[in-house]
Amino acid sequence: MSEDAVLVASSLSVHLGKRLVLSDISLTLPGRRLVALVGPNGAGKTTLLRALAGLLPSEGRIEIRGDALSSLSLQERARRFAYLPQGHQVHWPLPARDVVALGRYPHGAYDPGRLTGHDADAVARAMQMADVLNLSDRRVTELSGGERSRVALARVLAVEAPVLLADEPTASLDPRYQIEVLIKLRATADNGTLVIVVTHDLGLAARFADTVLVMSEGRLVSQGPPASALSEAIMAEVFRIRTYRADHEHEIVLVPWAEA
């Protein structure tokens, strides 16, 4: 493993029942990176995300900061991986501050109302980063969809894990909030975290990611900087589309344009 590698997967495969869902995936990812995980529906993106965090049984080897994932306790895994699932729904009328404080649970903060100074500082930093300090006392069930998404993001930021896994964090959000969430995840990566984001928005992936992982039928078929990982050949082969490409304000613009 290279010295700066945070997460390494070697020959990773996952079976669900008798069906092979992930097949022979290997990758090495350093910190301070935003990685976009893309692919058609059913490609195995969510399965890979959950397998990397140890939430699904898998074959092969996963290492986090040089330690085998299989050697870590469940609590230690929860300290090293902050996981934001699809939907991130909260059904209890908790104040937003208490929802964010749940991110400190892996660190032994079992009561959101009785945080140590260190845990309270972590919660405050996360809420400031996600721009939800003004929502602290609001019940999360009363918030708008965009506000709830930012509170959910603050919860995973509060874990202060070296790896943050986010499964379609911009789904069902309007364009403003989609951009806002990616900007915040980009800043989180720039501060040292390895951030892996599942997204169907190839434009956001091309614009914000350092590395793009392209999956198809349970396999990793392309990986690298956005311009090469999302080449025209990959667009045609994997997504069956052609794209419009340009540069705007020194950033990549990639727009799905037509069937291939």
- DSSP notation for 48-75: HHHHHTTSS--EEEEEETTEEGGGS-HH
Q: Tell me the pTM.
A: 0.94
Give the Cβ contact number of residue 183 at 10 Å: 11
pLDDT tens string, the chain, 260 residues long: the values are: 445 899 999 999 999 999 999 999 999 999 999 999 999 999 999 999 999 999 999 999 999 999 999 999 999 999 999 999 987 677 789 999 999 999 999 999 999 889 999 999 999 999 999 999 999 999 999 998 888 888 999 999 999 999 999 999 988 788 888 898 999 999 999 999 999 999 999 999 999 999 999 999 999 999 999 999 999 999 999 999 999 999 998 888 999 999 98
Alpha-carbon distance of 169 to 165, in angstroms, equals 10
Domain boundaries, the chain: 32-55+74-230
Please choose, from the candidates 255, 46, 53, the residue with its C-alpha nearest in 3D space to the C-alpha of residue 168.
46
Q: Which CATH number fits domain 32-55+74-230: 3.30.70.270, 3.40.605.10, 3.40.50.300, 3.20.20.70?
A: 3.40.50.300
